């Protein structure tokens, strides 16, 4: 099992997501829950595609941490 960081962004009336360690792996949905489900499916399909084409699976290297600032 590998754990990839996923970034979720509000995009007007919906949400979008991407995995920085998996170039081109994206998803969008009406809710954050739907987007999360679709992103999990997208990552699984991305990995299947890499394996089918005998490409290496990228290691998860991206991390994130919130930073609090006075605003």
**Where do the domains of the chain lie, and which CATH numbers do they carry?**
1-71 (3.30.160.250)
Is 30 exposed, middle or buried (CB count within 10 Å of its CB: 0-12, 13-18, 19+)?
exposed
Is 61 within 8 Å of 44 (Cβ atoms)? no
Residue 69: pLDDT band (50, 70, 90) is very high
pTM of the entire structure? 0.89
Mean pLDDT over residues 63-70, rounded?
96
pLDDT digits (tens, 9 = 90+) for 4-57: 999 999 999 999 999 999 999 999 999 999 999 999 999 999 999 999 999 999
């Amino acid at each position: 099992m590998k754990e990839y960081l996923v970034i979720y962004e509000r995009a007007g009336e919906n949400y979008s997501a991407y995995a920085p360690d998996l170039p081109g792996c994206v998803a969008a949905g009406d809710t954050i829950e739907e987007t999360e489900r679709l992103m999990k499916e997208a990552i699984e399909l991305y990995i299947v595609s890499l394996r089918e084409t005998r490409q290496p699976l990228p290691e998860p290297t991206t991390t994130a941490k919130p930073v609090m600032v006075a605003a």
